[in-house]
Amino acid sequence: MSIVIRPLTYNDLSQMPDDGKRYEIIGGELFVTPSPIKKHQKLSGRLYQLLSDQAQAGHGEAYFAPVDVRLAPYDIVQPDLLFILRDRLDIYLPSGVVEGPPDIVVEILSPSTRGIDQIRKAALYARGGVHEYWIADPDAPSLTVYTLRDGLYEAVPAQDRRQPSVVLPDLTFDLDALFAGLEN
């Protein structure tokens, strides 16, 4: 039997077990991440709340994992959170895949994904045209909002611990409040 070495695609994902782990394909390679820890989930919930409020205000829709986002035939990821602006909601197909870049993608770092989220995924999202990429670090704790400019991400600085968004101009949130009591 010969083994064919080739880049993996969305079809290959359907062969993966339904075991609660996160299965992603980046540059044709498989990445498996264990289920996240409580601190991660808590932060995720808070961030989802912020994005959900913007959805309520009519700007678009917020979704939490697991949602398959296909940025290219060999790049299918499951971000922690994503936001799609109102006029682009049709990129989220009835079949359950988001075909193309969400307007905002949020990744929450865990020890196992730290490097990948900051490097490989940042490169992937930039190349895939995701306008805004949030990286939240529950351990630091910190949150950096990156905006896409000329194919690369630039940090959007917070002012007095208040973090703005470029994609959602109405959104500015308090960083201290975001991380308060996360350990408990």
Check residue 27 for interaction with another protein (CB under 8 A): yes
Read out DSSP for 124-168?
Answer: HHHHHT-SEEEEEETTTTEEEEEEEETTEEEEE--BTTEEE-SSS
Of residues 9 and 41, the one with the C-beta less far from another protein: 9
The binder of another protein chosen from 150, 157, 159, 169 (CB under 8 A): 150
Question: Judged by CB under 8 A, which stretch of 39-47, 83-91, 97-105, 146-154 contacts another protein?
Answer: 146-154
Identify the residue among 28, 52, 78, 164 touching another protein (CB under 8 A). Answer: 28
Residues found near another protein in the complex (CB under 8 A)? 5-9, 26-29, 72-75, 114-115, 118-120, 122-124, 126-127, 150-152
